[in-house]
Structure 1
């Protein structure tokens, strides 16, 4: 999808298919409809059917679901995650819903798989079979990805205590199909997921690269008669950005960790050792710990690196990403109001407190040296990299931001709908070389990472700690301890005293790993789901920091409650859409919804 050609084909085909009615899609009208048989003769049209699945990728953007957790609030009263956290989450009012898009994506994949071998991909028969194989591999990988997101959002226990997933559909659905089918068990869905991963991995290259010798051609494709030219034509670097084997392996890691987690482990058929092994397969391909990007924790601010990206290439930190685009949308939404921003996403005091002291100890530990009168001094460098604290500098002119009560536009609760509600503004994801002044309105490049290697490192650390203990390695060359040490060192925390203390206990290491995950993956859409798969507390009130001054001008820091969280225990699992329950009697709803 990184070439203009394929992007155009996907959009054209998507438009053509979505403008037809359901009946027309499966029973083509006599006029103004090419019909599905046209796929056999036109590779571009067939590509567009698969392209419809690509357009439904759930990880294509940041939902800022942290607003539904203890990590953030929004100053936008209409924000759907803010409403959800306040008690409006129902089966017919559900911003977490993935049922429609992911099921539609699977529908297009199934349709594509039913026709792919008959498509005239190329005049050359060897190239035709190579194209068919690669396209099938992509489709299997996409179907596995959609299953993962469906299980994350809609897997859960029904009233009888059975852990259910979603209906497993692997064949095209037409106007005469029976759509009233029950949900399969969660374990059955995981088996279907793994099977699709295996099918994809048998057909896809680990990465799309141009090769120079026959020695680089897999045996499977040599038997088809593939040579260097044909391999580069079908599997070359120009296809970067499409589903490849490394991406499939990453989703296998993500799904295995989900299934092994407390919310699902009792009946998922997957354990932590499997999750650790699957994550290690991804990491071993980049050399394990030695492959960690030293600048990966500031991927969004590495301006020269971002500006230089072209032709689908990825930085070292990124496995899969969206298109690079030049805009200032994130800054417009989240810069402080004095810099012409809306200040939408406000990190909480809860989140700020999660950052340890510079020596690695939690600020609740006396050994941290934390000073409540100077709360932002001597802290983890990631704090001021990810959060604008009082006195922090923002933007191309390094403007000092004051969040004190009554200090101007940027002060806490100064202007409803634009000023911070917590005493903090978001810095992570935002480029600081942008000027929103209407007289200037500069723009810079951004991209959305769909999968970062840091996530996979953290997946491994979590699973390895549970399966092998803090310093155990299983069949691998590194441990959970090694991963967390490397992540903290690259952020500037080089004192390992607290880490070594945590390494004496699986429980303490678990707490540390979860906190590192909270920090490293913050504001990228993880915490809402992590809290649920861990079955951790989800109703923790969101707090802020009100800053004032005494007569001598000394700052007074007063923690304040900003927003309550109204979640019930059954909300560890998301609902099946109410509209689907009305239509299909065979569907069972998750308990409580």
Structure 2
């Protein structure tokens, strides 16, 4: 761990402005004189704020970050299109202490060190903007809390270093704290910060405004607290099922919902089709014509959450400049735009999870599912999440039948270069580009959005006291947004648990929830031991016949897989470091 505390701070995007001393863009922070960053003459805090902004750059970004794959490609929801991609190590026991996939240990401790430097030096800056210094300190503490949360959801208890800034010649000998000690520390950081943070509906005089979008406001801190407490109450971290932990998690989520009701926050489920991804002509084959326009609007409402640069549903976004990376990495391979990679291949398991529009799963009696038209009359979130054979994209319908433009070799004939499951990812993709070239568009990754708060509450409240009316209301609000029917009444606690887990899966696909959910619920040993499936389409004339087929075998070791292995170099460099069990 030593080298990451000492030299983990690399180049930062700090530039001189407004008469402040100039900072080189590519100068490592440990080589920059702190008097330049925390300038005694900088009454506007220009360099100090840019240092803080650099810490924000360490927030989680879920777009294709694991060897150009999304994290969900290591779950039962998707596969990478190449057999050798490292993300599959999560589903075939390929990771280990010397090969830690998604190793963000160094990144997050580097961010913690940056935060400690900021908090130790910000008071030097004679900031003359009222309330800003306290707010910046509070934001920094939230960023530090996020870094610790990212660590403990992977490794369990980790070393807590407080405000310590290790020097270059210092030997690191820091033991791991317990998981609960880490949870308590993160809670204290968030609770301490909240009074100084902006609310979501304020003006530039100390309250929220458009130019603060993407920063930690009070609502974002409360949302992180909600997620932290939900994880802490879950079976992985609450083996004795202490119901008070569930009740505490429910209270944390409900506090945000109550603040919304009281208009203290402006968060809401997005109910506007702000981007017209589809029109009724595009989706003719997916829904009865009598109400096709309503169905199309519901698909567009869902997709607009992810194609609008800022909206009231996203509580904490990862901000990035406009780009086309998501499209270039995930486009179906038959499109003529350069670099189409088709990396993310949803599984049949995920596709089957999307209900018919009457609220029944395709396997239930009375669902109306037709195997000859497998995507007809399905939950609007399906065409908003998955590209399947016949779905309109850019200038034509996707062709994933054997020999089609997007599966030219066909099922089982290649190990990379085209879909392994018969599906591609649709979510996050912008559809208003040319079919032959890419254009840069906003891609703001939703770290936390309001839909999660509703489902966090529903899950925690159901576990704490059972499926009361508030649980139903929270889940039904998510479903109503896309025109899906309300849940049937009279569900047992176990039945409601299944419904909530279903709703999280279809609502948050590819948003890095499924990976952690199957771990905190301790079901990875069930869903990742066996075979994942795809679909094969055989087209003869104008008729395509569809068959579910095997796509990949999976293997998850329940004796050690629920926690990541501590990176080997951290064990070697810190003599007090203890490896996770069985690694």
TM-score by length of 1: 0.81
The residue that corresponds to 2:98 in the other structure is: 92
Shift of 1:241: 2.4
- For the 8 Å contact 2:307–2:430, the answer to whether it is kept is no
Q: In structure 2, the residue corresponding to 1:524 is in which secondary structure?
A: coil
The residue that corresponds to 2:173 in the other structure is: 180
- For the 8 Å contact 2:305–2:311, the answer to whether it is kept is no
Distance 2:126 2:240 in 1: 44
Distance 1:93 1:526, change over 3 A: same
Distance 1:361 1:10, change over 3 A: farther
1:245 to 218, 240, 254: 218
Distance 1:400 1:252, change over 3 A: same
The residue that corresponds to 1:475 in the other structure is: none
| Corresponding position: 1:171 with 2:164 | yes
| Corresponding position: 1:210 with 2:203 | yes
Distance 2:115 2:507 in 1: 33
The residue that corresponds to 1:359 in the other structure is: 358
2:568 to 575, 578, 583: 578
Q: Deviations over 1:378-406 (max 9, x none)?
A: 322221221122222111x2x02222223
- For the 8 Å contact 1:75–1:419, the answer to whether it is kept is yes
The residue that corresponds to 1:431 in the other structure is: 430
| Corresponding position: 1:334 with 2:330 | yes
What aligned pairs does 1:377-526 form with structure 2 within 5 A after superposition?
377-395=376-394, 397=395, 399-411=396-408, 412-413=410-411, 417-438=416-437, 441-472=438-469, 479-494=470-485, 496=486, 499-501=487-489, 503-526=490-513
Distance 1:154 1:140 in 2: 21
Distance 1:291 1:208, change over 3 A: closer
Aligned length: 523
| Corresponding position: 1:317 with 2:290 | no
Worse-superposed segment, 172-181 or 265-274: 265-274
What aligned pairs does 1:189-268 form with structure 2 within 5 A after superposition?
189-207=182-200, 209-210=202-203, 231=206, 238-266=211-239
Shift of 1:322: 3.4
Q: In structure 1, the residue corresponding to 2:38 is in which secondary structure?
A: helix
Distance 1:545 1:465 in 2: 35
Distance 1:490 1:424, change over 3 A: same
- For the 8 Å contact 2:14–2:50, the answer to whether it is kept is no
- For the 8 Å contact 2:571–2:578, the answer to whether it is kept is yes
Shift of 1:62: 5.1
Distance 2:427 2:26 in 1: 38
Distance 1:304 1:246, change over 3 A: closer
Unaligned runs of 5+ in 2: 1-11, 274-298
1:283 to 247, 257, 264: 257
Worse-superposed segment, 89-98 or 189-198: 89-98
Distance 1:46 1:591 in 2: 42
Shift of 1:9: 4.7
The residue that corresponds to 1:349 in the other structure is: 348
Q: Deviations over 1:222-272 (max 9, x none)?
A: xxxxxx6xx47xx76533322221111111011111111100014898711
Distance 2:256 2:445 in 1: 20
Q: In structure 2, the residue corresponding to 1:146 is in which secondary structure?
A: helix
Q: In structure 2, the residue corresponding to 1:384 is in which secondary structure?
A: coil
Distance 1:36 1:192, change over 3 A: farther
Q: In structure 1, the residue corresponding to 2:79 is in which secondary structure?
A: strand
Distance 1:365 1:152, change over 3 A: same
Distance 2:125 2:111 in 1: 20
The residue that corresponds to 1:219 in the other structure is: none
2:269 to 284, 292, 299: 292
Distance 1:452 1:356 in 2: 23
Distance 1:435 1:305, change over 3 A: closer
- For the 8 Å contact 1:96–1:574, the answer to whether it is kept is no
The residue that corresponds to 1:18 in the other structure is: 28
Distance 2:163 2:305 in 1: 43
RMSD between superposed Cα atoms in Å: 3.0
Distance 1:544 1:434, change over 3 A: same
Unaligned runs of 5+ in 1: 1-5, 26-32, 156-163, 212-227, 473-478
Distance 1:208 1:580, change over 3 A: farther
Q: Which has the higher helix share?
A: 1
